[in-house]
């Protein structure tokens, strides 16, 4: 049994699963703008490709009624990329990106950001200046779509017949 102490949980920062979801849902232009704003005048770290951006297919599965038996709904185009940063201290964090669509530049940017979020000196600034604004933009778009859908809601009621 491993008795080593666990690192403290940082509730104020996103977990990797959350930041990967934010990057997967954000268009390339917004990722580029946010990265430029977060880095300021600094340039991103140098990197080596482990898997250059490549386009392929992934099977999309669904469930009957949302909870029933799974079925193959069809295939979607995905782009994936994996890179390793070359840091001055000798560390080499790895970044991965997978998203729907055929945008290789977007996969490169997302993998770069993923790797940079593993660098302790860059983690907090990237969360604050890059991920939080992108997540807020996604939440705003979702709220707007929900408000539009709510305006079209129709209330149906049934009157009891006096038979």
Cβ contact 94:100 at 8 Å: no
Better pLDDT: 47 or 150: 47
DSSP classification of residue 91: -
Which stretch of 1-5, 28-32, 122-126 has the lowest confidence by average pLDDT? 1-5
For CA atoms 99, 102, 108, 110, the dihedral sign is: negative
Residues 56-70: what's their mean pLDDT? 90
Alpha helices (runs of H) in 9-103, residue ranges in sequence order: 16-25, 28-39
Longest dimension (CA), the chain: 84
CA-wise closest residue to 81 among 116, 30, 117, 115: 115
Q: In this predicted structure, what is the pLDDT of residue 97?
A: 96
pLDDT of residue 14: 80
pLDDT of 156 reads: 75
β-bridge pairing 47-63 and 70-85: antiparallel
Q: What is the pLDDT of residues 138-163, one digit of tens each?
A: 999 999 999 999 898 887 776 677 66
- When mean pLDDT is compared across 16-30, 63-77, 88-102, 103-117, the lowest value belongs to 63-77
Arithmetic mean of pLDDT, 92-100: 96
Taking all residues of the chain, what is their mean pLDDT, rounded to a whole number? Answer: 88
């Amino acid at each position: 049994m491993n008795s080593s102490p666990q690192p403290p949980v940082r509730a104020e920062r996103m977990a990797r699963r959350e930041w990967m979801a934010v990057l997967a849902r954000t268009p390339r232009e917004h990722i580029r703008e946010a990265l430029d704003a977060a880095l300021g005048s600094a340039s991103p770290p140098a990197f080596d490709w482990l898997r250059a951006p490549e386009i392929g297919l992934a099977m999309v599965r669904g469930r009957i009624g949302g909870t029933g038996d799974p079925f193959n709904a069809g295939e979607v185009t995905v782009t994936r990329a994996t890179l390793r940063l070359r840091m001055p201290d000798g560390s080499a964090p790895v970044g991965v990106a997978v998203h729907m669509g055929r945008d290789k530049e977007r996969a490169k940017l997302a993998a770069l950001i993923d790797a940079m979020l593993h660098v302790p000196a860059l983690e907090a600034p990237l969360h604050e200046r890059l991920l939080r604004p992108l997540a807020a933009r996604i939440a705003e778009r979702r709220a707007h779509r929900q408000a539009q859908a709510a305006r079209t809601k129709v209330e149906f009621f049934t009157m009891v017949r006096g038979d």
